[in-house]
Chains A and B, each alone.
Chain A
Amino acid sequence: MTIRFTVNGVGFELPDSRGQETLLDFLHDELNLTGTKLCCGIGVCRACTVQVVKPPSPAPSPTISCSTALATLDGTQVSTIESVARGGRPDPVQQAFLDQFAFQCGYCAPGFVMAARMFLSGLQAQPVPPDQLEAAMMEAIGSHICRCTGYVRYFEALRSLAEAVNAGEAIEL
């Protein structure tokens, strides 16, 4: 039996025997994709958040890669921070984080970017009542831990984008 999944569009096929390895270890040690960060390693801080899509559902799911066994990824499409910027150009979330000085040491930033992108993509598919937007944002990124920033600028940066997307403005994610 094999485990088949893609990472940033590249396909992999692994034997079942590797099923208990974590996705984060696979990204780091096999693919040298170190943009996804290890912080707590037990699924609490969310620094290691990546995007996982399991067809036929198109909805991306924020996934804690340090605590996700490869065995659970059969048939999925994994996207990491390295897939976000196109040709070196930051996406709207990254640009907003840059413009708002949202991060400081930056170690948690990739996790915030991935979670924020999936949140916005969810809003694009299904807007929420404006008075519920703040709570929705807190749900999306409120559990991410950052030690440097105190969170204010992350929320300010995402809030601007979220209000725009929620109001129907087209933003290419």
Chain B
Amino acid sequence: MAPPPVSNAAPMTRRGFLKTASGIIGLSVLGLPGRGQGAGAGVSTPLGPVPGVAAQRIEGLAKVTGQKIYARDFRAGDMAGWPDHQWHALYLRARTTQEAFLGLDLAPLPPEAAPTRVILGSDLDPRLFDAPVQFERDLHVDDLLSAKAAEQEKAAKDGSFNLPDGLSFDLLVMPGTTPNFLGQAVALLLFDSLAAYRAARRFLAGDDGIVQHYGPGEGPDGTPLPEQPFDPRTLYVKDPGFDYAGTHAETYAREAPGVQARIRKALDEATGLIRQPIRAEMRAMDPMFMEPEAGLAWIDPARREMQLVLGTQSPDGDLRNIASMFGSAGSPVPELSHVTLHSCYPGGGFGGRDSSPFSLMLALAVAFADGNPVRLAYDRFEQFRVGLKRHATTAEGTLYAHDDMRLEAVQLSMSFDGGGRRNLSPYVASLGALCAGGSYRLPVADIHAEALHTENISGGSQRGFGGPQAYFAIETGLDDLAAAQGWDPMALRQANLIAEGDTTVTGGPIEQSLSLPEMLDIAAAHPLWAERAEIRAAHEAEGRTYGTGLAMSLQAYGTSGDGMVAAVHLERDGTLTVQSDAVDMGNGSATTLGVTIGPILGANATRVEMGGYTLFPQTGLSDDSDNPDRWDDPMWTQKGTGSSSACLTGLHQVNTVQQTAQALLRGSLLVAAARLWDGGPLSAEDVVWDAGALRPAGGIGAPLTLAALAEVVHEMGLPTGALGHAYFQNVWVEADFDTPGGALRLQLDGLAYYHGSKTAPQPIPRRDGSYPAPETARYSRYVWAPCVNVVGLTLDRASGRVQVENVLSVLNAGHIHVPELVSGQSQGGVAMAISYSLLEDMPPGMEGPADGRWNLNRYHVARAGDVPLGDRYVPGARAQELITLPQPPGSPRVGRGIAEAVMCSIPPAISNALRDATGVRFASLPITPDKILGGLAP
């Protein structure tokens, strides 16, 4: 039975190009796939009639009615122009790193499970891995990597991997060599029938080692060696005379170790300082997004085009890396001319689909499928086995404080288990090091963070990006300090809050209002904190052990330099379309971007198209780091686009869409309105939107609907769409752009206008730009979404089971675009954090999911009963209350990225509550009943 038909819409096609060893490869991104279907077909739900207000999610109807929108939903038969018959791919994976993989013996497989083709590492041309597979994330970290690359390139042998930030280990283990990590693919099996694929899966379930042979051979090949760090490591040392942000990179590298020694000596010798040890360890965590990774691929032989169907958070990096590999001299698909991504909504992400190796494995599979489409679909066992994880982490150090509660220094070493692949691990460690300073003013810091290569499952970008681990360390340390000194934990924090004008542990300045004292005051006054003694007494009267815990986080949003791109189109019928490079993984960015244009253009978007990686090439801008002119070149930008992570919606993506909408309004619509009103030039202040129509602000003039304006815009040949690129690095790049509506000053570094179509816009070079100072990249982060959490919980001393009774979250979210989405992120973050703290236990090595036998019967995630479901604190009932800081009257409507903010300090608040309840510090996550019972044992 076929799914219900959906309406056609114009396909969303955007093109870009990548120069590879074998030539130029075109890159395209399309919307949701389907026979005769176009982008957004049947997906969009009306956002609502009130501009700026979302009545529901724009993609909500498609999701709640079960329409095909996830990559896992699609089969070759759904794809227009593809052959119907599809092959199925299955990777066999390493079960040891102690012996060499020698090969396969498929004899044990029953005949009905025999694969059509088997590909081993020896079937791949080594030159396939000469292409630079890149994982860029943070400018200041990337700068260190580039410097290292330049050094290594000088010493590189022919045929070696040419960049340290490239792919360090083989996609398929070369027979005769030892796997570098558990779960590394050793073989690709391809099946031309679903029945054979299913039979093989059934046979190999739980132990694919039955067909693998291991024995003596060559050791692991690759860099770094086991237990060695992935470069670069992060060291932040700060004292009144020296810090990372204020020191040139080369000077810092040379002098920081000496400063560190100086700091340590001074702290060792200081008298009168209180020393509070910090020690915490956290197990790895699986994002457990609900849709296991899956995708389709096909190489059209006539057009030499690879098509992929994927739900990914990083369409930019995925496409580029696939094209790089397949454009290399060792490509199994010579003369590949084009790579097209059909961008699907991911069924959850949380960072686990950011720079995931899945897309590379899918592309590799289709290369050997004899021209047939291929489906690669992990089941949950496999997803646990190889999917990117939040890093297991150890943190050890000391907090130093004066006896008047002022903090003097934090000394901390953090070690992240990066697992097999480097992926984004060094960046995670880097941000973790920044977060280790917490929400506090610290005159002195000595923070070291590194990500180690181990045999374990690879760590990656996970919600919080190092923050959860860092805040667990600093916030439990602070609480222990308060308890040891007899200080009120609220007062200790109040005495040390960082504020505008202070500097972080990198030395980067805080140049944003944080309102931390007010947030703590709100928490302090709330009954959950203010009446904690009475609440505890009430529980104890009923025989229950109860405790209250407080913790804070200062989670940044954005990275050290972010580029975003958006397009806004006025269709002929007067409806509005928004396009963005961002991916909506459920966080609601599509809905937010759709309504954010409402106040500017009089109506919410009717269509929102996400994942538009190739919008950036249309801007005409280049982000070539070798351009010597840099910002002096009016068509250059520091960064094109990046992954959808780092909470980029609330400020970064929204502002980009808003500025682009302004460019359309002021550069086109107002020109049309002036024509219709027979008046002089109009500025945005001269008009208002009223019930979907444009009116003069002051008085007389017929109301103009968007449809009427669209007609005139098309007739006059005015821009029918605007394409804007923006860059944020501590400040927005601003520039003047000459438009049909006059010169416009915008927070964009690139602007182009469409005329009647959604391709080939006309770029307008910027002029009189103002740019971020380059050295600001070393601040690491610039903007913050602080959160205070108070947790009240009960503990069953007989079983060790913990129940979270109440959560209070005080969040500085800035201007809130869609309240329901903010509260949803808060609620999801609370549940994920409770789960991480108490339930999710994933041992390393073959004791854990690397053995291929883990699923939700062994890895426990929070269910509804584990989470307080009320939304307002009521004595005696369970609830989670979110208080968002009201914005002062007249504040600009600027949002903050909050998807990680509430989650980050719940784990230490839970540990602090348990310490309050029992007097025992539980600093090893997850805090399982066994650990509690062990800690309480006399």
Which A residues contact B (CB, under 8 angstroms)? 7-8, 10, 25, 29, 31-42, 44-45, 47, 80-82, 84-85, 88, 90, 94, 97-101, 103-110, 113, 138, 141-156
For residue B300, CB closer than 8 A to chain A, the reply is no
A80–B856 contact, CB under 8 A?
no
Interface residues of B, Cβ cutoff 8 Å to A: 1-4, 45, 55-57, 59-70, 72-75, 77-78, 194, 198, 287-292, 345-350, 379-381, 585-588, 820-821, 823-824, 826-832, 855-857, 861-865, 867, 869, 871, 880
Apart from A98-B57, A145-B290, A147-B290, what are 17 other A-B pairs with CB-CB below 8 Å?
Answer: A8-B1, A34-B74, A40-B856, A42-B856, A84-B65, A88-B4, A101-B821, A107-B347, A142-B863, A145-B861, A145-B863, A146-B290, A147-B287, A147-B832, A149-B824, A150-B824, A151-B827
Give the chain B neighbours of A105 by CB distance below 8 A.
63, 289-291, 345-349, 585-586
Contact assessment for A103 and B821 in the assembled complex, using a CB-CB cutoff below 8 Å: no
Task: Select the residue from A7, A40, A97, A113 with max chain B CB neighbours within 10 A.
Answer: A40
Q: A47 to chain B: closest CB distance in Å?
A: 6
**Chain B residue, CB-CB nearest to A82:** B66
Decide if A104 touches B64 in the complex (CB within 8 Å): no
The complex places the Cα of A67 from the Cα of B609 at a distance, in Å, of 36
Q: Are B66 and A32 in contact (CB under 8 A)?
A: no
Q: Which 3 A-B pairs have the closest CB atoms?
A: A35-B66, A106-B63, A105-B586
18 A-B Cβ contacts within 8 A? A32-B77, A32-B78, A98-B57, A104-B587, A105-B291, A105-B345, A105-B586, A138-B865, A142-B863, A142-B865, A145-B290, A145-B856, A147-B287, A147-B289, A147-B861, A150-B824, A150-B826, A150-B831
A interface, over-half SS: loop
Do B827 and A101 touch across chains, with their CB atoms under 8 A apart? no
Q: Which partner residue on chain A sits nearest B57 by CB separation?
A: A101
Residues of B within 8 A of A147 (CB): 287-290, 348, 350, 828, 832, 861
Q: CA separation between A41 and B57, bound complex, in Å?
A: 28
| CB–CB A45/B831 < 8 A | no
A152 touches B856 (CB 8 A): no
Of chain A, the residue at the smallest CB distance from B202 is A20
Contact A107 B290 (CB under 8 A): yes
Residues of chain A with a CB closer than 8 A to B826's CB: 150
A106 and B855 contact, Cβ closer than 8 Å, known pairs A42-B380, A101-B821: no
- The answer to whether A150 and B72 touch (CB under 8 A), given A42-B855, A98-B60, A105-B291, is no
Contacts of A149 in B (CB 8 A): 824, 827-828, 831
In this complex, what residue of A is CB-closest to B880?
A: A152
- For chains A and B in complex, what number of residue pairs have CB atoms within 8 angstroms? 195
Q: B343 CB to closest chain A CB, in angstroms?
A: 15
Pick the contact of A109: B64, B74, B380, B865 (CB < 8 A): B64
Q: B838: shortest Cβ distance to chain A, in Å?
A: 14
Give the docked Cα–Cα distance between A113 and B1 (Å): 21
Nearest-CB distance from A86 to chain B (Å)? Answer: 11
Q: CA–CA, A106 to B820, complex, Å? A: 15
> Which of B291, B350, B855, B864 sits near A44, CB closer than 8 Å?
B855
In angstroms, Cα B67 to Cα A109, docked, is: 11
- CB atoms of A34 and B828 under 8 A apart: no
| B-chain residues with CB within 8 Å of residue A8 when the two chains form the complex | 1
Please tell me if the beta carbons of B61 and A90 are within 8 angstroms of each other in the complex.
yes
Q: Which residues of B contact A82 (CB under 8 A)?
A: 1, 3-4, 65-66
Q: Is B828 within 8 A of A148, CB to CB? A: yes
Q: List, in ascending order, chain A residues with CB within 8 A of B345's CB.
A: 105-106
Contact between A44 and B857 (Cβ–Cβ < 8 Å)?
A: yes
> By the criterion CB–CB under 8 Å, are A150 and B291 in contact?
no
Residues of chain B lying within 8 A (CB to CB) of residue A154 = 864
Whether the Cβ atoms of A34 and B66 lie closer than 8 Å is: yes
CA distance A154 to B74 in the complex (A): 27
Among B75, B587, B827, B867, the one with the most A-chain Cβ atoms within 10 Å of its Cβ is B827
Closest-CB distance, B351 to chain A (whole angstroms): 12
Output the least CB separation between A39 and chain B (Å): 5
Q: Is the CB of B64 within 8 A of A90?
A: yes
From A25, A41, A156, name the one whose CB has the most chain B CB atoms within 10 angstroms.
A41
Q: Provide the residues of chain B in CB contact with A108, threshold 8 Å.
A: 290
Contact A155 B869 (CB under 8 A): yes
Residues in A whose Cβ lies below 8 Å from that of B55: 99
CA distance A98 to B62 in the complex (A): 10
Q: Which of B830, B831, B864 contacts A155 (CB 8 A)?
A: B864
Nearest opposing residue in chain B for A155, CB measure: B869
Q: Is the CB of A47 within 8 A of B290?
A: yes
| A103-B290 contact given A32-B1, A32-B2, A150-B867, CB 8 Å threshold | no
- Asked if B1 contacts A7 (CB within 8 A), the reply is yes
Which residues of chain B have C-beta atoms less than 8 A from A85's C-beta? 65
Expressed in whole angstroms, the Cα–Cα distance for A149 and B830 within the complex equals 9
Nearest neighbor of B74 in chain A, beta-carbon distance: A34
A45 and B1 contacting across the interface, CB-CB below 8 Å: no
Q: Least Cβ distance of A167 to chain B in Å?
A: 21
CA distance A117 to B829 in the complex (A): 27
B1 engages A90 (CB within 8 Å): no
A6 to B3, CA, bound (A): 16
Q: Are A38 and B72 in contact (CB under 8 A)?
A: yes
Using Cβ atoms and an 8 Å threshold, which residues of chain A touch B821? 101
Complex alpha-carbon distance, A106 and B871, angstroms: 22
> Chain A's nearest CB lies how many Å from the CB of B763?
35
Query: Across the interface, do B863 and A104 meet the contact criterion of CB distance under 8 Å?
Result: no
Contact: A142 with B864, CB < 8 Å? yes
Q: Which residues of A contact B867 (CB under 8 A)?
A: 150-152
- Residues in B neighbouring A33, C-beta threshold 8 A: 1, 3, 66
Shortest beta-carbon distance from A154 to chain B in Å:
8
- Please give me the residue from chain A that is nearest to B879 by CB atom: A152
Contact among A31, A35, A36, A150 with B829 in the assembled complex (CB-CB below 8 Å): A150
Contacts of B379 in A (CB 8 A): 38, 41
Asked whether A106 and B827 contact (CB < 8 A) given A33-B1, A44-B856, A147-B290, the answer is no
- How far apart are the CA atoms of A33 and B75 in the complex, in Å? 11
Give CA–CA (A40, B379) in the complex, Å.
Answer: 7
Q: In the complex the two chains form, is B56's CB within 8 Å of A99's CB?
A: yes
Q: Are B348 and A148 in contact (CB under 8 A)?
A: yes
Measured between alpha carbons, how far is A150 from B827 in the docked complex, in Å?
Answer: 5
Nearest residue, chain A, Cβ from B585: A105
Q: How far is the CB of B425 from chain A (nearest CB, A)?
A: 23
Residue picked from A32, A39, A146, most chain B C-beta under 10 Å:
A39
Cβ of B185 to closest chain A Cβ, rounded Å: 21
Nearest opposing residue in chain A for B833, CB measure: A150
Assembled-state Cα–Cα distance A82/B68 (Å): 11
Cross-chain contact B73 with A34 (CB below 8 angstroms) = yes
Q: How many whole Å from A62's CB to the nearest CB in chain B? A: 15
CB distance from B68 to the nearest CB of A (A): 6
Contact of B66 among A25, A110, A152 (CB under 8 A): A110
Q: Which residues of B contact A84 (CB under 8 A)?
A: 65
Residues of A within 8 A of B288 (CB): 147
CA distance A41 to B856 in the complex (A): 9
* Chain A residues positioned under 8 Å from B72 (CB to CB): 34, 37-38
Bound complex: CA A160 to CA B24 (Å): 57
| B379 nearest CB neighbor, chain A only | A41
Separation of A37 and B67 alpha carbons in the complex (Å): 11
Contact of B827 among A42, A109, A152 (CB under 8 A): A152
Write out the residue numbers on chain B whose beta carbons fall within 8 Å of the beta carbon of A144.
863-864
Query: Is A42's CB under 8 angstroms from B824's CB?
Result: no
Which of A39, A44, A98, A143 contacts B61 (CB under 8 A)? A98
**Of B57, B291, B863, which one neighbours A39 at CB under 8 angstroms?**
B291
> In the assembled complex, which residues on chain B have CB atoms less than 8 Å from the CB atom of A38?
72, 292, 379
Given that A33-B1, A101-B820, A151-B827 are known contacts, is A39 also in contact with B290, CB under 8 Å in the complex?
yes
Q: How distant is the Cα of A10 from the Cα of B1 in the complex, in angstroms?
A: 8
List chain B residues, Cβ under 8 A from A47: 290
Residues of chain A with a CB closer than 8 A to B4's CB: 82, 88
- In the bound complex, residues from chain B placing their C-beta under 8 Å from that of A107 are 63, 70, 289-291, 347-348
Q: Is the CB of A153 within 8 A of B856?
A: no
A39 to B290, CA, bound (A): 6
Query: Contact between B292 and A104 (Cβ–Cβ < 8 Å)?
Result: no
The one of A32, A37, A90 that contacts B3, using a Cβ cutoff of 8 Å: A32
